[in-house]
Amino acid sequence: MKPRLVCLTRPIDPELRNAVPEMLKPVANVIAPLVDFQRPEAKGRDRMMAIFCCAQHDLPHGEGWGEEMLNDMNSHCGTHVDAPYHSGNLVEGKPARKLHQIDLQELFCHGMVLDMRKFQRRNDAYTVAELQEAIDAVGRPIEPGDAVLLRTGQEIYEPSNPEWWVYPGMSREGTLFLANAGAKVLGTDAPGWDRPLPVMRKIFQETGDGKAIWDGHFAIQEKEAFIVQQMHNLAALPSKGFMVGFFPLNLVGTSAAPARAVAFLDR
């Protein structure tokens, strides 16, 4: 019997770029690209006429093809997989792997969902104790190669809502706790894995402590794992007992790629 597929991928809607808060416009390209829609009755038709040196009446119904030009699109756009290289050139003392160097089999694994909603760590990082409590609630420990997915509660917001950008994150300690326990994929339904950028910047400005900068991601330098951000629909999953696959675009030499994330559930 075929498994039931559950899509865990946030839709990439170019309209959402218009609703990103003004102070966050510089990172709008992680939400969606600018899209130049080339419709069959307009630019698509004109493009075909130029390529084939034909007239409009030579095309079926006087139309060409439909295609889209994607502009200003970040490799970390939408639901995406971070390669270890995103965290720096060296991981575990060796050259960090780029996206195309990750075997797809590594991104197909047993999944578990940690329900973190009750801790309400908005604009803050979860503690190791909170992560352990959520693992205990699942009823089994993290096993080597697992995908550990954090359900933070951000699914109730869209990027157009300022509340979506005020999310719970992860610290160096929390990231290493999960990775050292065996998690190979670290997923979240929040926009980012770390605390929000303005939060980390404020802490650094007040303390001068560089360890506050992007410490969740930089932890991957010590223990390799693949971070997946902007997941969606984690509410549709059980806490355990399913497989999950992350299928990124096979971009060569990049630090990340947009991915289709899919859970495979027994019917």
Lowest mean pLDDT among 16-25, 93-102, 131-140, 231-240: 16-25
Tell me if 9 is assigned to some domain.
Answer: no
Tell me if 148 is assigned to some domain.
Answer: yes
Tell me if 245 is assigned to some domain.
Answer: yes
Residue found by looking up tokens 């997946």 in the block:
228
Could you give the residue ranges of the DSSP H alpha helices within the chain?
A: 43-52, 128-138, 172-180, 197-207, 215-218
Per-residue confidence at 95, pLDDT binned at 50, 70, 90? Answer: very high
Tell me if 38 is assigned to some domain.
Answer: yes
Please report the pLDDT score of residue 252 as a whole number. 98
Q: Return d(Cα 129, Cα 145) in angstroms, integer.
A: 22
pLDDT (mean) for 14-27: 86
Boundaries of domain holding 182: 80-265
Instruction: Answer whether 146's CB lies under 8 Å from 110's CB.
Output: yes
Tell me if 3 is assigned to some domain.
Answer: no
For residues 48 and 87, membership in a common domain is answered with no
- Total domains in the chain come to 2
The token duo for 122 is 């908005």
End-to-end CA distance of the chain: 8
For residues 30 and 150, membership in a common domain is answered with no
Q: By three-state DSSP, how is residue 55 classified?
A: coil
Please report the pLDDT score of residue 136 as a whole number. 98
The token duo for 192 is 């980012």
Tell me if 108 is assigned to some domain.
Answer: yes
Is 23's pLDDT higher than 80? no
Please report the pLDDT score of residue 160 as a whole number. 83
Instruction: Answer whether 224's CB lies under 8 Å from 209's CB.
Output: no
For residues 247 and 179, membership in a common domain is answered with yes
Q: Return d(Cα 184, Cα 234) in angstroms, integer.
A: 18
Last residue within a domain, chosen from 28, 46, 71: 71
Q: How many CB atoms lie within 10 A of CB 125?
A: 21
Q: Any idea what the CATH number is for the domain that residue 111 is in?
A: 3.50.30.50
Pairing state between β 67-71 and 80-82: unpaired
In one-letter notation, the amino acid at residue 1 is M
Please report the pLDDT score of residue 134 as a whole number. 98
The token duo for 27 is 């990172």
Q: Which helix (H) or strand (E) holds 242?
A: strand 242-248
Q: What is the mean pLDDT of the chain?
A: 96
Closest CA to 224 of 122, 127, 102: 102
Tell me if 119 is assigned to some domain.
Answer: yes
For residues 196 and 89, membership in a common domain is answered with yes
| Interval 212-248: pLDDT, tens | 999 999 999 999 999 999 999 999 999 999 999 999 9
For residues 46 and 92, membership in a common domain is answered with no
Q: Return d(Cα 33, Cα 42) in angstroms, integer.
A: 21
Is 21's pLDDT higher than 90? no
For residues 37 and 158, membership in a common domain is answered with no
For residues 108 and 128, membership in a common domain is answered with yes
For residues 64 and 131, membership in a common domain is answered with no
Phi-psi region of 176 (alpha: psi -120 to 50; beta: other; left: phi over 0): alpha
Q: Return d(Cα 228, Cα 186) in angstroms, integer.
A: 6
Is 25's pLDDT higher than 90? no
For residues 140 and 227, membership in a common domain is answered with yes
Residue found by looking up tokens 């792997």 in the block:
97
How much of the chain exceeds pLDDT 90, in percent? 91
Tell me if 114 is assigned to some domain.
Answer: yes
For residues 183 and 56, membership in a common domain is answered with no
For residues 36 and 100, membership in a common domain is answered with no
The beta strand positions in 72-205, using DSSP E, are 80-82, 90-91, 94-95, 108-115, 147-151, 185-188
Is 267's pLDDT higher than 80? no
| Interval 120-161: pLDDT, tens | 899 999 999 999 999 999 999 999 999 999 999 998 998 888
For residues 55 and 134, membership in a common domain is answered with no
| Angle, CA 256 vertex, CA 10 and CA 11 arms, to 5° | 10
Please report the pLDDT score of residue 215 as a whole number. 97
The token duo for 137 is 């609630």
Please report the pLDDT score of residue 175 as a whole number. 98
Q: Return d(Cα 246, Cα 110) in angstroms, integer.
A: 12
Lowest mean pLDDT among 14-18, 49-53, 55-59: 14-18
